[in-house]
Amino acid sequence: MTRLPLLVCLAALPGLCQDSRAVMEKSVAKQLASVEKQRLAVRAQLPATARKPDSFFTVPWSEPLVAVATAAPPLRGLDCDPVPPEQIGAIVAEISESQGLTPDLLRAVIEKESNYLPCAVSPHGAQGLMQLMPATAAGLGVENPFDPRGNVQGGAKFLKQLLLKYDGDLPLALAAYNAGPSRVDSAGGVPPIPETLDYVSSILDRLKER
């Protein structure tokens, strides 16, 4: 029987999940150490000019499995201000509850993907707060990827699908959100792509700080 992903459990049944929370925190800490070790090992093999500590946008799924740390700087479709804290706070609270995810997780992904810029566009075409590729957004029913609520709704829905697919394994779900499920499946874990390793490590670090 497929077990309920812990992040869904924590949001929906907090009184029944205290033991699971401790197990998850221990598991995430262990996986974070493993991801960080893998990340450093891969980065050590790259030329110095190809190393970049943080990549801002999601890897397009159609690209071959190669290092992408030298991608062009992020672009914006239009100049815009970050979504105001009170507005994004209300959106995150509502959508995290409806999708059975923790608000901290959604915030960490949004911060990493777009730093709360609703008009953000990557060089590869990922759009909006949670950097959805156009085909992914369409498949999730997102009509306007630059609408904050619609984009977060679609991104949260997709993230929940990935958590279900990987049986609640947060590092695998995050890796799939960044690099695509096919790459995670092919690698049998977090794929050895420098950007993806940085992405997973960065978000797990954000969650540890909250």
Catalytic residues: 113
Q: Which helix (H) or strand (E) holds 200?
A: helix 194-209
Long-range contacts of 2-9 (CB under 8 A, 24+ apart): 2/164, 2/167, 3/167, 3/168, 4/168, 5/160, 5/163, 5/164, 5/167, 5/168, 6/168, 7/100, 7/101, 7/102, 7/105, 7/163, 7/168, 7/170, 8/100, 8/101, 8/160, 8/163, 8/168
Give the distance between the most distant pair of CA atoms in the chain. Answer: 50
Burial class (CB in 10 A: 0-12, 13-18, 19+), 103: middle
Spatial distance between the Cα atoms of 69 and 52, rounded to a whole number of angstroms: 6
Spatial distance between the Cα atoms of 35 and 58, rounded to a whole number of angstroms: 18
Three-state SS at 8 = helix
